[in-house]
Structure 1
Amino acid sequence: MFNNLSEKLDQALHTLKGHGKINEVNVAETLKEVRRALLDADVNFKIAKQFTNTVKDKAMGQDVLTTLNPGQLMVKIVKDELTELMGGDTVGINLGGSPTVILMSGLQGSGKTTFSGKLANFLKTKKTKQVLLVGCDVYRPAAINQLQVVGEQIGVEVYAEEGNQNPVEISQNAIKHAKANGKNVVIIDTAGRLAVDEEMMTEISNIHKAVNPNETLFVVDSMTGQDAVNTAKAFNDVLNFDGVVLTKLDGDTRGGAALSIKSVVNKPIKFIGTGEKMDAIDVFHPDRMADRILGMGDVVSLVERAQEQYDEAEARKLQKKIAKNQFGFDDFLNQIQQIKKMGSMKDLVGMIPGAGKALKGMDIDDDAFKGIEAIIHSMTPSERSTPSSINASRKKRIAKGSGTSVQEVNQLMKQFDQMSKMMKMMQGGGGKRMMQMMKGMR
């Protein structure tokens, strides 16, 4: 996410290293590179210039604080301004109304239908809402089929009227159906076009007037950069929407849309799509995104994701197994599954401060655990529960069955053994002793 921009901003801010005070010359050098980085990320020229001018005004004349060097001070100023540029505060979704009506808008191919499903899943699982998805793309039968597949996948009802070519009528009937069937959120997926046209705008405007939604969201493909911002302006002029959704942020995103859209339409980014799975949706936090762009990670989001997967009963069982020295490969496999549920590996690594830079150039993907899982699945149940029983001949069989080498099996066994010892040490007062040892090593 924003890897190229992060790298260039990091290089730009290194210009100030070694200077005792921020002055006009070194600020100008740094900000020239910052502006270049923003333009490369497809940020509008006026916005990039205004951004660097604001940073310059705040940086000039400031003595370096006793605990900071000039580079750190500049990073803080840039971070604060990036946060403001992307909206400043986190803005949630309006769930007022009975039922709450959410209208989705955007161009064809922006990921609108998929995101409608993600939002339905988010509201169902995180907000315990009874959701109804509504198919109002009457021009593409595949769009309604896609919505029905998504609805089935997440266990949410989809309302559609085969043969009815009137999206206004369908959306009004859907709201009646929702009221009659105890649904408290209605998400209306509208038709998109390949480009903004008068017919499309008239249609969505008519739906908007007819259903008077509590929330109108504009869905945009973040990979389209500056074009996304222009499209957002055209939609906002007609709909006066409430918020923006940026999809496909897991791709090779330049970042221009995320950094420019708030300044152009003065509407908050409310959600981001970070992958293909139905749970790959995050509330947008401008401050956390600014941290990630500057390579500071996003520990808060990482902890939140970990807490969502945390099962207290399972954790207690695991603790007992570790205490009795019964931690086996099935337990290890279970821990891997918990990590995988937290999201894509690339995304998780980006949340760890400094990890992106440390692992630069390495191919981090969701298949990172594939080899480990294959090795464990090639073990017998008794081998998984009693790793000490795995001798040389068994290692050969496991390697052959998993399509790996004996060396890779040995490596996994060694890592597993080290992890088991560490987990055992963390039991009781071991954690305290370990911290004292680490302090002594400084």
Structure 2
Amino acid sequence: MTQTILTGQTLSFTGSPFREGPDAAVLHHRRGAVLVEGGRIADVGDAERIRGIAPTARVIDHGERLLMAGFVDAHVHYPQTGIIASWGKRLIDWLNSYTFPEEMRFGDPDYAAEMAGVYLDLSLVNGITTACSFCTIHPESVDAYFTAAQARGMRMAGGKVMMDRNAPDGLRDTAQSGYDQSKALLDRWHGVDRLTYAVTPRFAPTSTPEQLEAAGALWAAHPDCLMQTHLSEQTEEIAWVGDLYPDAPDYLGVYERYGLTGRGALMGHSIHLTDREWAALSDSGTSVVHCPTSNTFIGSGLFNAREAARRGIPTGLATDVGGGSSFSMLRTMAAAYEVGQLGGSALHPAELLWLATCGSAHAMRMGDRIGNLAAGMEADIIALDLASTPVIAQRAARAGTLWEAIFPTIMMGDDRAVTVAMIGGKPV
């Protein structure tokens, strides 16, 4: 089996920095190396030691660059790639003015294939090696997404949006057709190569009780899939849910009623939560996903990452393209830092990197395969230049600690900082 050694600085997590503290949870080798065999990480550690155990391996030297796991984006809408950074709307207006008209186009297989390729290539340029995406109601949009991911060898998750009310003509299915089409796509794609299907009711306002019941039944029959939706993004949305589901105790209670909570359920946004909802998320093991650039761009509010961590709720980080305003997970981490500051609890650089890798991977129940630079993991690896621009370089040159060296890249970095992204140990 061919062996490859990647040399550079290495960063791995031995635990969660939210629980154990940044220094206790992180293993850093200033002169480190990663041994890759057969698409997996065989070992990580001191470069001299790694070279000694694989003396005939091909060596690729990344100099002073930081080798770490590829970013994991736990909540995106790939069909919104073309409308990213559209001006001036809140959530419901955003959907009606921008999202729904664009999603209409994804019944065309050629257009869906084109945009899936654009989305995945932009993600890889930014060091995102895994994502979980909402597609559209069209099965063609799912086929295009998974076909493009399969061609690139990527570990990706996604699913057909289920939406049978409060949407335009041409963007609605029915409870039955949504179930049937989702089941057919699940059977076609789930578990093929590195692909995972996600049962995907868009959110409670665009699904009838009958459709949410069907979505819950589908997930119950295939519990190894993921389930993704939206929760408590904006106050107007929460009031709308209250009108549509007056018997539910709260927004999360709607999903609970139909079996759409628990491990493997991904609740995008989760900003305006009641005490009961916080407790129910924690008790059920339901994951939440922080979408900071989207939450500020659309004016949704400030997610409390510290509270989620305190309660042990699995938490991922996401660009939320295209409500989110950047494909960059570095920019997304910077926004998460700023949101934390506004909420009175700044996140440490180690916590930000954790959310963008291990945190998202665990939220998606993939933490045993991706999200960390550790032996046995799949070799989806990125190299970060910690001096990618003059302003970052001059700031990093003053660093006295690892975190002082990394933080300028988190706050000011972009795709120029990602010098290579590897899928299965191969540059793409």
TM range (shorter): 0.3 to 0.5
User: Which of 1 and 2 has higher RCO (CA within 8 Å, sep 6+)?
Assistant: 2
User: TM-score, structure 1 length as denominator?
Assistant: 0.32
Determine which structure has the larger strand proportion and give its number: 2
Determine which structure has the larger helix proportion and give its number: 1
User: TM-score, structure 2 length as denominator?
Assistant: 0.33
